[in-house]
Amino acid sequence: MTTEIIKKEYMIDAKGKRLGKIATEAASILLGKKTSDYARNLTASVSLTISNVSQMEISEKKKAEIYQTYSGYPGGRSIETLDHLGKRLGYAEV
Name the β-bridge partners of 11: 49
The separation between the first and the last C-alpha atoms of the chain, rounded to the nearest angstrom, is 43
Evaluate if pTM is beyond 0.95. no
pLDDT, tens digit, 9 for 90 and up, residues 17-60: 998 999 999 999 999 888 888 888 888 889 999 998 888 898 89
**67 vs 49: CA distance, rounded Å:** 26
**70 vs 12: CA distance, rounded Å:** 33
